[in-house]
Amino acid sequence: MFDHLILRYSKYLRAVWRANVSLNRIDELVRHFLLQLKMRALGLLFSLAFAERSPLEARDGAFWLDGEKITLVSGSIHYFRVPNEYWLDRLTKLKYAGLNTVELYVSWNLHEPYSGEFNFSGDLDVVRFIEMAGELGLHVLFRPGPYICAEWEWGGHPYWLLHDTDMKVRTTYPGYLEAVEKFYSELFGRVNHLMYRNGGPIIAVQIENEYAGFADALEIGPLDPGFLTWLRQTIKDQQCEELLFTSDGGWDFYKYELEGDPYGLNFDDVLRADFWLNILENNQPGKPKMVMEWWSGWFDFWGYHHQGTTADSFEENLRAILSQNASVNYYMFHGG
């Protein structure tokens, strides 16, 4: 389109130059040419911005984006653990490592350190981090909690929740739901324009995190059956129309259902990837297989040796996951 326009005007300008047309007339023609070029460029950008986009779907045993099958090969980066001056460098390295997606948690206690006081600047500018990912052509898996685990203080819950002495987090306790709803209103109000349907890179949003493991670990008995349902609807009420999903340990995920949303597994059981993925497939037939957290390492315990894995071991087990036609998220890629 632009080549044709440039050729047309260059021939015309050569002709008027030979005809000794005044410099003022040539200047006028050049201005006209630049205006035409600008309008063509704006038209192209407009058409791209509003082109029909088909959001991420989970059906027929696969993920589909824009009507085509896609395998998500993702890496986790905790933006709030990385100085913002390094974000572009780390995202660029993630892309050139062959990944097509970045996953991120949102840490509530950093963004709302005091009730009703929000901080989304500097190292907490999650909007800019997501924009950078999109500019690099990366998709984004968005995990806004409210509980994130992430080996982070109280799983990202702000301390001021405990001002309510009856507080019960991760339940339908009214005081907790009110606080979550206020935070989500602020957060989603900032990121909604970055959803895939709106031209942004966010293709999916996670509901809670490892919820079944929460009840098991504390031996508190049955899960609160209404909490995840409430959270799902609250996210939708924030004008989020992207694919919703959740994730849990392979030993826990089957303990609850979430209205047909797909599950991802979190594990590092090197020798049993096929085992866990087969269980996942049997419990959600027709949904894609996704390892939401493929643990590339582990946190250290005081007084114990440093946890880690070798590159050869990681590659061997990554191949086992991909051979199952499963999508995968490296946890962590950087900053965890």
The helix/strand/coil state of 319 is helix
Active-site entry in 112, 208, 242, 293: 293
Q: Which residues contact 250 (CB under 8 A, 6 or more apart)?
A: 265, 266, 267, 269, 276, 279, 280
| Total number of residues shown for the chain | 336
Active-site entry in 103, 112, 210, 242: 210
CA 231 vs CA 148, 181, 197: distances in Å = 14, 9, 21
Distance (Å, whole) CA 120 – CA 110: 9
Q: Where are the beta strands (DSSP E) in 71-197?
A: 73-77, 101-105, 139-143
Distance (Å, whole) CA 279 – CA 253: 10
Q: Is 151 assigned a catalytic role?
A: no
Which element (helix H / strand E) includes 247? strand 243-249
Distance (Å, whole) CA 27 – CA 197: 43
Distance linking the first and last C-alpha atoms of the chain: 46
Q: Is 210 assigned a catalytic role?
A: yes
List for the chain the helix, strand, coil content (%; round to 5). Answer: 45, 20, 35
CA 334 vs CA 89, 94, 190: distances in Å = 11, 9, 24
Q: Which residues are catalytic?
A: 210, 293
